[in-house]
Amino acid sequence: MSETTGESGEQAPKGLGAQLIRLQAWVRRGFSEGRSPALWLMALVVGVIAGYGALGLRLAIQTVQLGAFGAFSENLASRAAELDALHIIAATFLAGVAVSALLFLGERMKWLPETHPLVVADVIEARAVRAGKMNTAPGLLSAAIAAVSLGGGLSAGREGPAVHLGATLAAVFTKLLGLPARAARIMLACGAAAAVSASFNAPVAGALFAFEVILGHYALRSIAPVAAASVTGAVLARIHFGATPAFPVPTIEPASIADFLAVVPLGLAAAGVAIPFILAANAAPRLVAEQAKKIHWPLWALPPVGGVIVGLIGAFVPEVLGVGYEATANALAGAYGIGLLVALIAVKLVATVITLGFRFGGGVFSPSLYLGAMVGGLFGAIVAQTLGEQASSSAFFAVVGMGAVSGAVLGAPLSTTLIVFELTASYEASIALLVAVSLATVITTSVTKGSFFHKQVERHGYDLTEGNARVILQTIRARDIMSPLDASDITGEMDEPALYEDDYLGRVMGFLSAEKLDGAPVRARSGDQPITGYISKADAHAAYADALARAHAEEHR
């Protein structure tokens, strides 16, 4: 019997060889569709890698902190209160010098072209427009900058750098295996989930954060891998740091009807803090860079200046230094009076904006928790004076405020609600928070036109607030969809309406509609700008519809 031959004349494989080829095709198809059981196993591996990355970042921060302030624990404020002002200023200044050196390295090596450490927004951008691809060296350098910044007492959060580091390590893994875009995006979410879970010892919240912030959807095929990675991160945190939460949370007493009614104005107050925080933290890097340019001050040399300013603030108000978990815990415990709470809200906001504006590394998760705890504690103290014994303890309102501000800043109301639930195990506080954070998030996003992360991504020209419909128009280029032309096919004059190879799909469609054309030639921008292809209006609309269909399938299957 003769064997079957293909079009090339080669014999088609049979028997065991054919089965192996079919198995390989099935595995690759499973990866591309995000449904392979092997992907779940890889999620466990990514969970271990990202979880240890987050724990390693935490230890690096505490090691730098030990050298700078002589404190290895979270109680930096108490330790700083025992030191003289010059010591604190010197510590933050030297941290700025070290960060400047790292930024200079990143600029020279072209790892950090914007002379700024990478953040969570870069992970979101990688998922939305770069097929889940991230560069390793910039991610590791950004983690080092964050460790020096936060260990040196600068005012920012460690969860954002941990998420970016976890996603970077996940991207290294997916690149080594050559995974397709959908699987790479899921692995990014797995890395982020494991990092959040390891940071807060909150596996459910870690998974929801990955869906809510990183992926932007809850596709069924993504749930198992992300959940596996998140649980893995929490297990690692419990193995090495115990089952205690990131900071102590007092027992929440049962709430009355009056308390639940009071969370509505608390949600308004949370929005009142979240809005200026988002606007100021996003505007600060640009404004500082503009002033530096006027005096010809290099961006990589900004951190020492910012370090001195934050050091001066911290010398008088040590509660603003570092991640701030000790002060957050004190606010939850009702340890601060009304006047001090007001001062801490204002000073922390300023210190964090300065830290981010002067190119230090760090995130906004911890500062938003800090600000929310202070706002809630302040609100609770006022309610206690108004209602007397009928009001709950200040811890109830501090916990609700903590989640409301952070949820509004991050644009992640569900994951922050779950973080609070996993930290407090209080069903009543979680229900009250769900009301407050929903109100705060709606008001905040209506004013700022997006979350903190979305505003950061917008600086690169991508609008994620309207989902994939807008992103697709901003990412597909004319060269991707044009029909190439041979030299013999090319006709036309330079004054003929034409598109360029690097034009985005949105401009292509807008150009064809505005010029009332059924198609147009495509030119290269280099040299004499020769015509290299042709795009018809039908091809442009077909490419848009196909990309929308694929994005919809990924988000809903």
3-state secondary structure of 521: strand
Which DSSP letter does residue 304 get? Answer: H
Distance of CA 292 to the CA centre of its chain: 27
The share of the chain scoring above pLDDT 90, in percent, equals 61
pLDDT at 166: 96
pLDDT at 8: 45
**Cα–Cα distance for residue pair 458/490, rounded to 1 Å:** 38
Name the residue type at position 408. A
Name the β-bridge partners of 483.
534
Mean pLDDT, range 340-361, rounded to an integer: 96
**Cα–Cα distance for residue pair 126/123, rounded to 1 Å:** 5
**Cα–Cα distance for residue pair 514/506, rounded to 1 Å:** 12
Which residue shows structure tokens 């020492």? 304
Name the β-bridge partners of 536.
519
Which residues contact residue 65 at a Cβ distance below 8 angstroms, ignoring those fewer than 6 apart?
71, 72, 76, 150, 151, 152, 153, 322
pLDDT at 28: 61
Domains defined along the chain, listed by start: 34-241 (1.10.3080.10), 257-457 (1.10.3080.10), 468-556 (3.90.1280.20)
pLDDT grade for 1, boundaries at 50, 70 and 90: very low
**Cα–Cα distance for residue pair 245/519, rounded to 1 Å:** 60
pLDDT tens-digit profile of 368-381?
999 999 999 999 88
Q: How far apart are the first and last CA of the chain?
A: 45
C-alpha distances (whole Å) from 422 to each of 234, 249, 255, 405, 430 are: 12, 11, 18, 17, 9
Q: Is 465 exposed, middle or buried (0-12, 13-18, 19+ CB in 10 A)?
A: middle
The sheet with strand 531-536 has its strands ordered as 483-484, 531-536, 519-523, 499-500
* pLDDT of 14 higher than 60: no
pLDDT at 19: 73
Mean pLDDT, range 513-521, rounded to an integer: 90
Q: What is the mean pLDDT of the chain?
A: 88
* pLDDT of 4 higher than 80: no
pLDDT tens-digit profile of 523-532?
998 888 888 8
Cβ atoms < 10 Å from Cβ of 339: 9
Q: How do beta strands 483-484 and 519-523 pair?
A: unpaired
pLDDT tens-digit profile of 498-509?
899 999 999 999
pLDDT at 439: 95
The model's pTM: 0.88
pLDDT at 2: 44
Cα dihedral angle (404, 408, 411, 413), rounded to 10 degrees? 20
Least confident of 25-34, 76-85, 179-188, 319-328: 25-34
The share of the chain scoring above pLDDT 70, in percent, equals 91
pLDDT grade for 471, boundaries at 50, 70 and 90: confident
Name the β-bridge partners of 514.
none
pLDDT tens-digit profile of 46-69?
999 999 999 999 999 999 999 999
Structure tokens at 488: 């013999």
In degrees rounded to 5, what are phi and psi of residue 461? 90, 10
Name the residue type at position 433. L
pLDDT at 183: 87
Cα dihedral angle (301, 302, 307, 312), rounded to 10 degrees? 120
Distance of CA 506 to the CA centre of its chain: 26
- Taking each helix axis from N to C end, the angle separating 303-316 and 85-108, rounded to the nearest 10 degrees, works out to 160
C-alpha distances (whole Å) from 78 to each of 214, 322, 350, 548 are: 35, 12, 21, 54
* pLDDT of 359 higher than 60: yes
Structure tokens at 121: 């927004």
pLDDT grade for 220, boundaries at 50, 70 and 90: confident
* pLDDT of 216 higher than 90: no
Name the residue type at position 359. R
pLDDT tens-digit profile of 244-288?
777 778 878 777 787 788 899 999 999 999 999 999 999 999 999
Which residues contact residue 450 at a Cβ distance below 8 angstroms, ignoring those fewer than 6 apart?
411, 458, 464, 465
* pLDDT of 24 higher than 70: no
**Cα–Cα distance for residue pair 554/59, rounded to 1 Å:** 37
* pLDDT of 390 higher than 80: no
C-alpha distances (whole Å) from 398 to each of 1, 109, 403, 507 are: 81, 45, 9, 49
Answer positive or negative: Cα dihedral of 14, 15, 21, 27.
Answer: positive
Structure tokens at 127: 């998922």
Decide which of 420 and 317 is more confident: 317
DSSP secondary structure, 123-184, as one string: HHHHHHHSTT---HHHHHHHHHHHHHHHHTT-S-BSHHHHHHHHHHHHHHHHHHHT--HHHH
Structure tokens at 133: 């691809």
In degrees rounded to 5, what are phi and psi of residue 47? -60, -40
3-state secondary structure of 554: helix
pLDDT at 408: 95
On the CB side of 357, how many CA atoms lie within 13 Å of its CA?
A: 25
Structure tokens at 495: 């004054």
Name the β-bridge partners of 484.
533
Mean pLDDT, range 63-79, rounded to an integer: 92
CA-based radius of gyration for the chain:
26
pLDDT grade for 556, boundaries at 50, 70 and 90: confident
* pLDDT of 235 higher than 90: yes
